[in-house]
Structure 1
């Protein structure tokens, strides 16, 4: 149903300046339940792929346009304990890299937004039921401001630090996972 709505929107659009592809669910998963792999990949990866497929012709035809795809640090640093989510976000990273390469000669810029620990309604755990932002987390506004700053510098990888993990630690984790 979402795909049909997207196709209807593109039919009505003559231009598209900015496309933000943010698809993600993170239920716990394990090796015995392959249905969780399918469900998570259907949203996290194929949500992005369908968005690209649907809107690419319109945004590519729009001068000075931009695509932002939301990834995850877990797709880059690959910490233990959630293989399905990590693999899905690693695939999103790869798709974003390929799209950036494919559009290198176009006027559409592609950016991979990799938020750090961000406090949202989705990221609250039972221990955070009070609704208060943990000290180490970033707000949505901080992530948005960082995104705009790095987009103006035309950076592809926009890896947000947070107040828990410094950029240096992220770099070490990325090097370890490579």
Structure 2
């Protein structure tokens, strides 16, 4: 998944990645990104690359359940940059415990392939106590099993951060 994320990031940035590996010596990953020729002031105005439409409106809270630390931290960082409050869980049981609490959660973003309880099991159990909860499933696999109920959507890893930002805003905004 790590190499997939690197490749996805490079491709979404109109760049590419080169990987060189030698047994007993290690691996080198080089990411080539296009040079920016604009004004430095232009960069500061849109430092995080998100428009007003992507941003949280009222500091909404998003629960992110992901067992892969790098992916979880990336998602949380993007959401923070957009003005969302975030809560993190590393597996299904700990995420479900948060969902069964009184903590306000406006959106659940969960990996499907979680240890303990998978993302769909967490979502189904969460909907028993939070019937209208919006749920965004993340998956690294091209799957088509199960039907998504109203208020549920899926995004495939690796995904562009702007796609995540748009999906989160659209789902929360559709209360």
TM-score (norm 1): 0.36
Q: Which is greater in Rg?
A: 2
Q: Which has the higher strand share?
A: 2
